[in-house]
Amino acid sequence: MGQLNNFSSIDSNVIKIAAEQFGTPFYLYDENTIVNKCKSLFAMPNAYGITVRYAMKANSTKALLAIIHNQGLKIDASSMNEVRRAHIAGISYEDIILTTQEVPLNREMQALKDMISQGLKYNVCSLQQLYNIGDFAGNINVALAIRIHPGVGSGESATRNTGDKYSCFGIHLSDIEQALVYAKSKSIIFDHVHIHIGSGAAPDIWQNNIDLEMSIIEKYFPDAQVVSFGGGLREARMSNENPADINELGCYAKEKIEQFYQRTSRKLGMEIEPGNYVVANAGYVITSVIDKKKTGNYGLNFLVLDGGMELNARPLLYASQHPFYVISKNGDLLSSEFDEVTTNKFQAVLVGRCCESGDSQCLNAEGLNTPRKVAEPEIGDYIAIGGTGAYCSTMSPMNYNSHVQASEILFTSDHKLIEIRSKQTLEQLIENEV
């Protein structure tokens, strides 16, 4: 038995028991970590109240939504179907905001109107979205949220930067006046102003964004009651990474919101909508070593796992690094990413079982395999890939090579293992084919 790291209540023995019970590969989530993360967000300094929304695209499994919502978080949905899934999980429309690239038409537009009538907050993200909802919102007198494209952004990689001119999220600064003229003609007000600049944004850019957004509200949005700074709070997966200092960001935001009050006599509520930060480090992909290969004397050691890109595509998409934990068949922790003293480390590339050279957990930014230090496992030992609670189960090319979607297991706060989504069957994989 061995502790994986200093934040998880899952240890190597829990992984062994889960693997024997459910069969690898699967996702394993730690309820304690999720709950602690949620609590830490509410402890963030703020001026006149804070609303924390969970960006559910990070992980949308019903049981996790329920845990997070029970902690008092509301929901940020990125599609109509996400709104539906949150609602099916027992979350009322009043607790959901829809921030989407979708432009609902026809029946979907009718569905959207029904949801708005029942309390869904609609965050318009383009002029077209605004024009499509304008008559309805004006007629029933419901205030809208507006997502602003600030013209600057930040993210851990170019593909996760949503604020600069190379991305198209939100109504660009240069279109705000046009949006306001239209809104006025329909008697629509914007009571909620939102900017999300990207995932894993650098703290200084987050602070610049706060300044920028406050000035935009002061200049254009006299009816705003809520300022949303979006998500993108950086989380650290590897020991050499640094998480966002939410205390520092909170202090900064608090000061700016208080100064805004001094200038304008308006008290703005503050909103944040993290996804990654809430669930990333609560999740593990649990795999078994199914093969070992070498590419010659000057080549590399490969460990072939029974789950790879179809469970975690982040190395392929972003060259992101995840912590590895090697666990023997009988539950001993042979090596942990966070344990520098472990001896007997050898260098290996961890790959999945797909016929695809990108199916690797060890890719660098050029797409090349770079070996990592781990204890040498035997075939049948387990490897847990950490930091996989966010953007893995929701975002992976799950049926590639006809591998079925993996199950999801929760390690509860009272130390039970429960299956919160069962493994897809082969019949389900092909059921819609004719």
Ligand X SMILES: *Cc1c(COP(=O)(O)O)cnc(C)c1O
- By the 10 Å C-beta count (0-12 exposed, 13-18 middle, 19+ buried), 258 is classed as middle
> 58 or 142, CB closer to ligand X?
58
Shortest distance in whole angstroms from residue 319 CB to ligand X: 17
Should residue 232 be labelled a site residue for ligand X when binding is judged by CB under 6 A?
yes
- Return the residue of 24, 99, 360, 393 that touches ligand X, per CB under 6 A: 99
**277 lies in the site for ligand X, by CB under 6 A:** yes
Residue 314 near ligand X by CB under 6 A: no
Does residue 78 bind ligand X (CB under 6 A)?
Answer: yes
**Between 16 and 314, CB nearer to ligand X:** 314
Per rule CB under 6 A, is residue 58 in the interface with ligand X? yes
Rounded to a whole number of angstroms, the minimum distance from the CB of residue 98 to ligand X is: 10
Give the nearer residue to ligand X in terms of CB position, either 207 or 370. 207
Which of 276, 336, 361, 407 binds ligand X (CB under 6 A)? It is 276
Q: How far apart are CA 143 and CA 191, in angstroms?
A: 6
Is 231 among the residues that bind ligand X (CB under 6 A)? yes
Choice between 59 and 335, CB closer to ligand X: 59
What is the smallest separation between the CB atom of 249 and ligand X, expressed in angstroms? 13
Determine the interface stretch with ligand X among 35-43, 51-59, 87-95, 263-271 (rule: CB under 6 A): 51-59
Q: Which is nearer to ligand X, 206 or 302 (CB)?
A: 206
The helix/strand/coil state of 241 is coil
Q: Is 313 in the site for ligand X (CB under 6 A)?
A: no
CB of 210 closer than 8 Å to CB of 248: no
Least distance CB 133 / ligand X (angstroms)? 18
Distances in Å between the Cα of 76 and the Cα atoms of 92, 107, 119, 148 are: 12, 22, 14, 16
Q: How far is the CB of 218 from ligand X (least distance, A)?
A: 22
**Based on CB atoms, which residue is closest to ligand X, 246 or 354?**
246
Structural tokens at position 365: 């930014």
**C-beta of 274 vs 352, nearer to ligand X:** 274
A 10 A CB-CB count for 77 gives 28
First and final C-alpha spacing in the chain: 49
In SS3 terms, 74-124 reads as: EEEECCHHHHHHHHHCCCCHHHEEEECCCCCCHHHHHHHHHHHHCCCEEEE
**Residue 233 touches ligand X, criterion: CB under 6 A:** yes
> Is 273 or 310 the residue whose CB approaches ligand X more closely?
273
Assess 31 for contact with ligand X (CB under 6 A).
Answer: no
* Contacts (Cβ under 8 Å, ≥6 apart) of 184: none
Residue 80 interacts with ligand X (CB under 6 A)? no
What number of chain residues touch ligand X (CB under 6 A)? 17
What contacts 78, CB < 8 A, 6 or more positions away? Answer: 55, 56, 57, 98, 99, 100, 101
Interacting residue with ligand X among 76, 271, 306, 359 (CB under 6 A): 76
Sign of the dihedral defined by the CA atoms of residues 4, 7, 8, 11, in that order? positive
* Residue 57 binds to ligand X (criterion: CB under 6 A): yes
Which among 119, 173, 175, 168 has a CA at the least distance from the CA of 150?
173
CA-closest candidate to residue 332, choices 405, 291, 381: 381
User: In angstroms, rounded to a whole number, what is the distance separating the alpha carbons of residues 249 and 246?
Assistant: 5
Tell whether residue 288 is a contact of ligand X (CB under 6 A): no
Reduced to 3 states (helix: H, G, I; strand: E, B; else coil), residue 193 is strand
Measured from the CB atom, is 275 or 387 closer to ligand X?
275
Q: Which residues bind ligand X (CB under 6 A)?
A: 55, 57-58, 76, 78, 99, 196, 199, 230-233, 273-277
